[in-house]
Chains A and B, each alone.
Chain A
Amino acid sequence: MQLSFSPEDEKFRAEVAAWLQGNLNGEFEQLKFRGGPGDEHMFPEERLKWEQKLAEGGWTCVGWPKENGGRGCSIEQQVIFFEEYARAGAPGRVGHIGEGLAGPTIIAFGSEQQKQKYLPGIVSGTELWCQGYSEPSAGSDLANVKTKARFDEAKGKWIINGQKVWTSLAHESDYVFVIARTDPDSLAHKGLGFFLMKMDQPGIEVRGIEQITGTSEFNEVFFDDAECEADDIVGAPGEGWKVAMGLLGFERGVSTLGQQMQFQNELDEIIKLAKDNGAARDPVIRQRIADAHIGLKIMRYNSMRMLSGGDGGSLQKEALIYKLYWSTWHRDLGELAMDVLGPEAEMLESGPYQLTRLQSMYLFVRSDTIYGGTNEIQRNIIAERGLGMPKEPRVKL
């Protein structure tokens, strides 16, 4: 075991930190610690400019191969980049769905033409993406997609009809990637296609969903005879599920340490509050703050195991439990924040409903244990894949 980073990696860290220090100021100063989960609706235009600033410095798509326009960073360097990014308080990335999901999918499964058409806009931070997976009847049961795609021979295009939901950044995005049913008689994960679509067209309508926070970063997206170019299906019709799920196997959690740096910022704020208002002297609060600190420390060690590729076995159990672990930890942190605040927990930043950062966090973390696989789905996956327990029965229609 070797816990420290190499001297070259530490040099890289210094380079990242210096660039951020030199550029995250002036007009971008106001973006510090903004635009993260629960705050994604804030400063969309300024954050788009920031995305392009990052691109100028070569700091978008750092993990992509160089031939695709990326920086070709090693796993360690990607970890360092995300960690320093969060340490500097740099804002939530408007380009993260393109960089983290759309781009890697196109790199892995897309045609040469698709790569040339779509990757440069992601790298330059000029074209934003959103993800069209969930539907009203396809949440935890994601394969139950009802949105339909049929090929119109006359137009030479795919025609998409249906509805997507919980689509973050849809109102700001240039493109969406959609899984839709190419075989109308198919069920579950068979007969799906993976489509790359332009958002700005008559057949697509975006409506914001007002959330528990009173803000809207998620949307509903309606497809009414929306069009997709014939060349813009990734993989063959019927292979959409394979394409959509393909990247999950490669995910080793390079962004987890960056995410944890954000958690650390939140915990630090709570600790400061507790010291200031005397809650830090309450024995029960002390136990809970210490527990949060311990939980976050171990979260980091767990990520280091994930990133090191496990202990020789092919199944990385520490990766399997990660979502359940961090989401539950973060939800508890929200509750701790309110309990540390005491009666001040109720006091808004301002009326009519401007939440403080911690209030917003407290409310938003209720979604952490739901999106990206609920805690219940996570426990099924852990029991089935990690422990070999029987699979949930599927009802055959």
Chain B
Amino acid sequence: MDFSFTEEQQMIRDTAEAFLAEVSSSEAVRAAMVTEQGYDDAVWQRITSEMYWQAIHIPEEYGGMGLGYIELAAMLEQMGRYLLCSPFYATVCLASNALLVAGSEEQKAEYLTKICEGKLTATLAYTGANGQWDANAVELLASKEGEAYQLNGTLRYVPDGHTADLLIVAARTPGSEGEQGISLFAIPADTAGIDRQWSPTMDQTRKQAEIHFNQVSVADMALMGEEGNAWPELAKIIQLATVAVAAEQMGGAQQILDATVAYTKERVQFGRPVAGFQAVKHQAADMMLKAEVSRSAVYYAACVAEEALHGGDLADQLAEAASVAKAYCSDAYFQNTATAIQLHGGVGFTWEYDVHLYFKRAKSSEIFLGNGAYHREKVAQLILD
């Protein structure tokens, strides 16, 4: 048993940190977040051509680096720390995972290769407007018409949905309910009948979109997996994506702790740094506890996700490990940023300081794919029902 990073994994993490410190400064984040696109093309270009991060956990046969989910989590932690504005999460943690789990050989060969080449961004769109995150979220309708499918309806809360080149879409057979009747499709975003609109959000660092499907006709070769029986695959895709959000949350929870400690060491009142007051120290200690416990949860969940993708004894623990990590990290990140505002005092309430960026990102990450209460209920179902 060795539950620590290998030297190579540490190197990946350190490289990511150094690069992001350069390209994802406060100024860079603020410049990107006020655009509708939400990211800087030049930075994305460097990530995909110099760093090759988009290829990290894709098998080598599709042009990937063939590393694992632990390496991916190590990078996501740093992206969370630096609030990186990029289509990375949507492309890699949503769409690439979807292709890996449910894509046909042809779909993987075509799309994963393009993603690895940096020529394609993508996302997963499965949620309608009902505010659910499980199978009930799927509201888009797919009717079979001859050799094709016709898709109709509205998708909401789709990360980078307005900019992605490829949409992995979940839709259901008319009349079906719950986990039944769900199909997955890989659809180029410029297909006729798809109307995409940016949804301005309180957290500006991660963009969301609303997507309308109006009699969109897709060929059956766009179908991923079996028609009407894609829920097990979609569930796994969502769980993998959930682990990835938790990794970002953990990085954010750590970063806001570091920023808060640094600030309280500089801020002098009553003739001494406020970091010396026990009322401040104890809140900072609680923040560190939450960051460290989050880290333990995420590293474990990443190990499970790795085995879920590539085989191993822990593969069947994915649902639980994802919910354990997301429940804890959602609350920890939110609480750490809330405490950070308090410990920064007045400046924590300003637009000028970055604390609010983390406070807002914490809330949007908490909501996305289900908050703490949602994931606790999922765990409760596993142990109580």
Contacts and interface: CB of A to CB of B under 8 A. Distances in A.
Size class of A's contact patch? 35 or more
A291 to B, nearest CB: 6
A389 B284 contact: yes
A383 B282 contact: yes
Given A280-B384, A290-B376, A383 B285 contact: yes
A76 B303 CA distance: 19
Nearest to B379: A290
Interface stretch (A136-144, A147-155, A219-227, A293-301): A293-301
Interface stretch (A86-94, A194-202, A230-238, A311-319): A311-319
B288 A302 contact: no
A120 interface: no
Given A2-B2, A286-B380, A302-B296, A294 B284 contact: no
Interface in A355-386: 376, 378-380, 382-384, 386
B296 A383 contact: no
B261 A1 contact: no
Interface in B51-94: 70
Nearest to B326: A294
Given A1-B299, A3-B314, A294-B328, A312 B5 contact: yes
B269 interface: no
Contacts of B303: 1, 3
Interface secondary structure of A, over-half rule: helix
Interface in B347-385: 373, 376-377, 379-380, 383-385
A177 to B, nearest CB: 31
A378 B4 contact: no
A294 B6 contact: no
Nearest to A5: B1
Contact of B281 (A9, A301, A383): A383
Most B CB contacts (10 A, CB to CB) among A6, A76, A304 go to A304
A321 B264 CA distance: 21
Contacts, number: 159
A290 B383 contact: yes
B267 interface: no
Contact of B4 (A297, A309, A376, A386): A309
Nearest to B331: A291
Interface string A298-336: 100110110111111000011011001100000000000
B1 A307 contact: yes
Interface of A: 1-6, 9, 76, 79, 271, 274-275, 280, 283, 286-287, 289-291, 293-295, 297-298, 301-302, 304-305, 307-312, 317-318, 320-321, 324-325, 376, 378-380, 382-384, 386-390, 392
Interface of B: 1-6, 9-10, 70, 257, 261, 264-265, 272-273, 275-276, 278, 280-282, 284-286, 288-289, 292-293, 295-297, 299-300, 303, 313-314, 320, 323-324, 327-328, 373, 376-377, 379-380, 383-385
5 contacts: A286-B376, A290-B376, A294-B376, A389-B280, A389-B281
